[in-house]
Structure 1
Amino acid sequence: MSFSASPLRLGAAFALAAVLSACSSTPTLPSTPGGDSSSKATGYLVGSAIPDSLALSPAPPAPGSASAQLDDAVASQALSMQGSARFAQAHTDADLSFPAGADQFSCALGVAVTAKTTPVLYRLLERSRIDASAATKAAKTHYQRPRPFMVNNAPTCTPDDEEGLRKSGSYPSGHTSIGWAWGLILSEIDPDHATALIERGRNYGHSRLVCNVHWYSDVQQGQFMGAATVARLHDNPAFVADLAKAREELAHARTLKQPLPRDCAAETAALTSDIPEAR
Structure 2
Amino acid sequence: MTGIAVWTAAVSALALLALGGQAFAQSGQAQPTVTDPHFKIAPGYLARSELPDSLVLLGPPPAAGSAALARDEEARKATIPLRNTERWTLARRDAELAFPQAASAFSCAMGVGIDAARTPRLYAMTQKMLSDFGLSTYGVKNKYNRVRPFVVHDEATCRADQEAILRGDGSYPSGHTAAGWGWALVFAQINPERSNELLARGIAFGQSRVICNAHWQSDVDAGRIMGAATVARLQTNPAFLADLEAARAEVKAAKAKQPALDCAAETAALSGQ
TM-score, structure 2 normalization: 0.92
Moved more, 264-273 or 14-23: 14-23
Superimposed CA distance per residue, residues 239-276 of structure 1 (whole angstroms, 9 cap, x where no aligned partner): 0110011000101111221464xx511111111202xx
Using a 3 Å threshold, how does the CA distance of structure 1 residues 63 and 207 change in structure 2: closer, same or farther? same
1-side partners of 2:7 and 2:207: how far apart?
17
Q: Does 1:15 align with 2:15?
A: yes
* Residues 182-201 of structure 1 aligned to structure 2 (within 5 Å): 182-201=183-202
Letter in 2 for 1:12: S
Letter in 1 for 2:38: L
Using a 3 Å threshold, how does the CA distance of structure 1 residues 201 and 2 change in structure 2: closer, same or farther? closer
* Residues 1-279 of structure 1 aligned to structure 2 (within 5 Å): 3=3, 8-24=8-24, 25=34, 27-29=36-38, 41-258=42-259, 260=261, 263-274=262-273
Deviation at 1:2, TM superposition (A): 5.2
Deviation at 1:95, TM superposition (A): 0.8
Superimposed CA distance per residue, residues 95-124 of structure 1 (whole angstroms, 9 cap, x where no aligned partner): 111111111100111100111221110111
1-side partners of 2:187 and 2:146: how far apart?
31
Superimposed CA distance per residue, residues 144-180 of structure 1 (whole angstroms, 9 cap, x where no aligned partner): 0000000111221001111110000000000000000
Moved more, 94-103 or 185-194: 94-103
Using a 3 Å threshold, how does the CA distance of structure 1 residues 252 and 230 change in structure 2: closer, same or farther? same
Deviation at 1:3, TM superposition (A): 2.4
1-side partners of 2:35 and 2:181: how far apart?
15
Counterpart secondary structure, 1:269 = helix
- Cross-structure match for 1:35: none
2-side partners of 1:73 and 1:170: how far apart?
17
Deviation at 1:223, TM superposition (A): 0.2
Does structure 2 retain, via aligned residues, the 8 Å contact 1:26–1:140?
no
2-side partners of 1:20 and 1:77: how far apart?
35
Deviation at 1:20, TM superposition (A): 4.6
Does structure 2 retain, via aligned residues, the 8 Å contact 1:50–1:135?
yes
TM-score, structure 1 normalization: 0.90
Superimposed CA distance per residue, residues 215-236 of structure 1 (whole angstroms, 9 cap, x where no aligned partner): 0000000000000000000010
Counterpart secondary structure, 2:252 = helix
Using a 3 Å threshold, how does the CA distance of structure 1 residues 92 and 104 change in structure 2: closer, same or farther? same
Counterpart secondary structure, 2:82 = coil
1-side partners of 2:107 and 2:128: how far apart?
17
1-side partners of 2:257 and 2:36: how far apart?
34
Count of residue pairs the alignment pairs up: 264
1-side partners of 2:121 and 2:239: how far apart?
11
2-side partners of 1:258 and 1:4: how far apart?
36
2-side partners of 1:96 and 1:200: how far apart?
15
Counterpart secondary structure, 1:60 = coil
2-side partners of 1:30 and 1:222: how far apart?
14
Letter in 1 for 2:19: V
